[in-house]
Amino acid sequence: MTEIDLKQLNGLLQSFIGELSSKPPIIAVVENFQFDDVVELLKLGITDFLTPPLKAIDIIPRLCHLREQKSQKEKLTQILKERIGLKQLVGKSPAFLAEIAKIPMIAKCDAGVLISGETGTGKELCARAIHYLSPRANKPFIPVNCGAIPMELVENELFGHVQGAFTGASKSFSGLIWEANGGTLFLDEISCLPLQAQVKLLRFLQDKVYRQLGSSQIRQADVRIIAASNIDPEKAVSEGKFRKDLFYRLNIIPIMLPPLRKRKTDIPILAKHFLAKYTLEFNKPINDFTTEALQKLIMYEWPGNIRELENVVERAVIFSEQSVIQSANIVLPRSETTAYQESFKVAKAKTISQFEKDYIKGLLLANQGNITKAAKAAQKNRRAFWALIQKYKIDVQSFKIVHP
């Protein structure tokens, strides 16, 4: 373990690692770093990193993990990790790949990770990949949906209780942190944790110690915490839902998964991935989608993201009676299924019409129904602007302010 000043890192560290014949694991101690600095360290060959102040409770478990990792049969372990980890993260869009590329490097260290993205974008899969590519792969991965736990039970679920801690506590409960000992605890919807529980979680992250409810005994657990949020974490902080100090502790390495509507090129890839999964599961001889079926999937906006796409493909496999999934087998919400049926010309005309209507209404609203002023703002003559108002049957009087 050696202490490195990141500002003096560049050639010095490359030279140092290059001269080492046995390639021993190297743990760096860094202070006042940025995420890009950490990535560079990992690329150069650093095994893990710590931030001051140094504590034995942080250092010793990491050294133990490195020793265990070295003693494993590397080839077999790596095959297993790849199958369980990154294989499930499917896609080729640049925005998606940029985030997924971080995972193998993140898995090498125990730094805090905060994964953000809409519901159904694959946050838990991402957390699992980090775990199964890490030295903790042979220890438990415990996922917890913080939003699904009643507020009064959160601390009990995380930290456990001793017998007699409260009415009805007829026997002790170890808690999820203890169950994840040596492995990874994945806290989904982290901003749903009550503030009091966030305080106790922060203390655990700092010292790796905690108390069960009703107990005066301090317990230690070696657990990596990976958190996720389906809302903007910084917005949750500003709204007082998420403690700022906990946010900074977890957000050392951020991962932001894009929604499916922003990675349309991945829809055919994902659809065929789920097709292979469910044709095998249901033993059905289906091998592809028709062009119309794929077009229908691509044109949909997917508010439920990848999870919704998987459900749609699963349903299509169940009800399909042919060797190729037909458009009729793709069942989507009725209000979202008309666009794919229209020609480019018709769809474009509808979009332009809606834009013109909204634009005119916006100008009339801003100018309190004054047609002359609105036309001037649009840089159109009054007659042409009035023609558009008549075309879309807009009630100008509704935009005028009536003074009492």
Q: Are residues 231 and 119 in the same domain?
A: yes
Q: Which residues pair with 254 in a beta bridge?
A: 114
Enclosing domain of residue 290:
261-341
pLDDT score recorded for residue 73: 42
Query: Do 236 and 308 sit in the same domain of this protein?
Result: no
Residues 178, 142: contact at Cβ < 8 Å? Answer: no
Burial letters for 199-209: b for 16+ Cβ neighbours within 10 Å, e otherwise?
Answer: ebbbebbeebe
User: Would you say residue 109 lies in a domain?
Assistant: yes
Least confident of 101-105, 160-164, 215-219, 395-399: 395-399
Q: Is residue 329 predicted with pLDDT exceeding 90?
A: yes
Q: Is residue 226 within 8 Å of residue 186, measured between CB atoms?
A: yes
Considering the domain boundaries, does residue 39 fall inside one? no
| pLDDT recorded at residue 46 | 67
Mean pLDDT of all residues belonging to the chain? 82
CATH code, 272: 1.10.8.60
Residues 187 and 200 in one domain: yes
- Of residues 367 and 320, the one with the higher pLDDT is 320
Instruction: Report pLDDT for 246.
Output: 92
pLDDT of 233 over the 70 cut: yes
Task: For CA atoms 202, 205, 209, 212, give the dihedral sign.
Answer: positive
Chain segment 263-282, per-residue pLDDT in tens: 988 999 999 999 999 999 99
pLDDT digits (tens, 9 = 90+) for 133-149: 898 988 999 999 998 99
Residue 404 pLDDT greater than 50, yes or no: no
Tell me the residue length of the chain.
404
Res 190: pLDDT = 93
Q: Is the pLDDT of residue 40 over 80?
A: no
Query: Hey, is 220 helix, strand or coil?
Result: strand
**Same domain as 202, residue 84:** yes
* 3 pLDDT more than 80: no
Instruction: Give a yes or no: residue 327 inside a domain.
Output: yes
Question: What CATH number should be reported for the domain holding residue 90?
Answer: 3.40.50.300
What would the two tokens of residue 366 be?
């801003």
**233 with 276, same domain?**
no
Task: Grade residue 56 by pLDDT with cuts at 50, 70 and 90.
Answer: low
Query: What is the rounded average pLDDT of the residues 3-29?
Result: 54
With beta carbons less than 8 A apart as the criterion, state whether 256 and 116 touch: yes
Domain count, the chain: 3
Boundary-marking domain end, from 207, 227, 256: 256
> Do 286 and 360 share a domain, yes or no?
no
243 found inside a domain: yes
Find, among 70, 226, 44, 79, the residue nearest to 142 by Cα. 226
Q: Are residues 131 and 248 in the same domain?
A: yes
Domain-ending residue, one of 232, 256, 280? 256
Q: Is residue 53 part of a domain?
A: no
Domain boundary pick from 314, 341, 368: 341
- Looking at the fold, whether 161 and 250 belong to one and the same domain comes out as yes
User: Kind of pairing, strands 253-256 and 224-229?
Assistant: unpaired
Do 187 and 226 contact (CB within 8 A), yes or no?
Answer: yes
Largest CA distance in the chain: 88
User: Percentage of the chain surpassing pLDDT 90?
Assistant: 37
The arithmetic mean of pLDDT across residues 329-355, rounded, is: 73
Asked whether residue 54 is domain-assigned, the answer is no
Decide: residue 45, CB within 10 A, 0-12 exposed, 13-18 middle, 19+ buried. Answer: middle
What residue has token string 């042979």? 138
Q: How many CB atoms lie within 10 A of CB 381?
A: 11
Which pLDDT does position 168 carry in this prediction?
81
Residues 245 and 355 in one domain: no
pLDDT tens for residues 338-348?
555 566 777 77
pLDDT at 256: 94
Q: Which of 34-43, 295-304, 355-364, 379-388 is predicted with the least confidence, judged by mean pLDDT?
A: 34-43
Please indicate, yes or no, if residue 404 is contained in any of the structural domains: no
With a CB cutoff of 8 Å and minimum separation 6, the contacts of 175 are 156, 157, 158, 159, 160, 161, 212
- Sequence-separated contacts (24+) of 71-77 with Cβ below 8 Å: 77/137
- Give the three-class secondary structure for 306: helix
Is the pLDDT confidence value at 78 over 60? no
The pLDDT, as a whole number, for residue 21 is: 44
Has residue 199 been placed in a domain?
A: yes
99 and 239, same domain (yes or no):
yes
173, 108: one domain: yes
In 3D, which of 145, 334, 115 has the Cα closest to residue 229?
115
246 and 267 share one domain: no
Please name every residue paired with 113 in a beta bridge, in sequence order, or none if there are none.
226, 253
